[in-house]
Amino acid sequence: MEINKDNYYSKEIDRHYFSVSQYKSFLKCEAATMAKLKSDYEEPKSEALLFGSYVHSWLDNTQEQFKEENPDLFSSRGASKGQLKAQYKLADEMIKVLESDPFVMMALDGEKEVIMTGELFGVPWKIRMDVYNPQYGRFADLKTVKDIYEKYWHPDIGYCSFVEAYGYITQMAVYTEIESQNRGGDWLENFIVAVSKQDPPDKAIITVDQVSLNIELEDIQNKMERFKAVKTGIEKPNSCGKCYYCRKNKMITNVLDYRELIG
């Protein structure tokens, strides 16, 4: 299927292609993911997602479009008309922190929002790189995070970095492999350009080593047979029982022992 910036996030494209976000969604809750693919459910936008999207709109020069599509984030009257509302003003400070650092701007130099497709583990995948610079052997992704150095909890691995907690190793692994397929060469260097939501904001440029990328690709491969079967309707999706979708559609069928509450 032809894929471009206008239809990249469409349900039709999502039904045909796997993506990192869809893969992570299957990991979280198969039932909610399938409901989204069937257009039976739309995940509510979180404040954190809107916050990050605004910072990204600076990177790809689409801030005016973002303002038009999200007017509730901006003041509509008085001296502050057109400016971000108070709870979002930190986003502008984060952008200034990025713009003021030559090394950061070097890492973010390149073609923006580059779409590629490829095949992994018997299914088509799509990727959308924030910054693509094959001439200098790298691609980059911009991330907004609460605190770059904070320990985050992941139920499978315990306390870890935000890179592990939010599945960014998965993203770097898939992007690295799909880009390599398209270019026909060795893996490029990957950069995660992180900026924190602290006052003042912190920043860092992070990379994931090739050993970790290979391990992650093996882990994805091990899970894909199940997800392929669910997506194609061969297997029934499991419900996590805890996400927004599951809570909204929950019907009690059993009694829990109190020790199950934190299992």
User: Which tens digit of pLDDT belongs to each residue from 34-59?
Assistant: 999 999 988 887 878 888 999 999 99
Closest CA to 59 of 119, 139, 142: 142
Query: What is the CATH number assigned to the segment(s) 11-44+101-262?
Result: 3.90.320.10
Asked if the model's pLDDT at residue 87 lies above 80, the reply is no
Cα torsion 81, 82, 83, 84 to 10°: value is 110
- pLDDT for 263 equals 65
Asked if the model's pLDDT at residue 244 lies above 70, the reply is yes
- pLDDT for 215 equals 97
Q: Is 127 helix (H, G, I), strand (E, B) or coil?
A: strand
Asked if the model's pLDDT at residue 222 lies above 70, the reply is yes
- Output the CA–CA distances (angstroms, integers) from residue 34 to 10, 27, 200, 224, 236, in the order listed: 14, 12, 40, 15, 10
Region of poorest pLDDT, from 38-42, 159-163, 216-220: 38-42
Q: Could you give phi then psi for residue 237, rounded to 5 degrees?
A: -70, 145
Do the Cβ atoms of 63 and 73 come closer than 8 Å? no
Strand order in 203-206's β-sheet?
111-120, 123-133, 138-145, 189-196, 203-206
The tokens describing 50, both together, are 């809107």
Model confidence at 84, pLDDT cuts 50, 70, 90, reads confident
- pLDDT for 64 equals 87
Asked if the model's pLDDT at residue 88 lies above 80, the reply is no
Mean of the pLDDT values across residues 171-182? 98
pLDDT tens digits, residue range 110-141?
Answer: 999 999 999 999 999 999 999 999 999 999 99
Asked if the model's pLDDT at residue 168 lies above 70, the reply is yes
Averaged confidence pLDDT in the chain: 93
- pLDDT for 238 equals 97
How far apart (Å, rounded) are the C-alpha atoms in residues 220 and 156? 15
Domain ranges of the chain: 11-44+101-262
Percent above pLDDT 70 for the chain: 100
Asked if the model's pLDDT at residue 94 lies above 70, the reply is yes
Alpha carbons within 13 angstroms on the beta-carbon side of residue 17 total 25
Model confidence at 257, pLDDT cuts 50, 70, 90, reads very high
Q: How many separate helices (H) and strands (E) can be counted in the chain?
A: 11, 7
- Output the CA–CA distances (angstroms, integers) from residue 257 to 62, 178, 195, 241, 254, in the order listed: 51, 46, 42, 16, 10
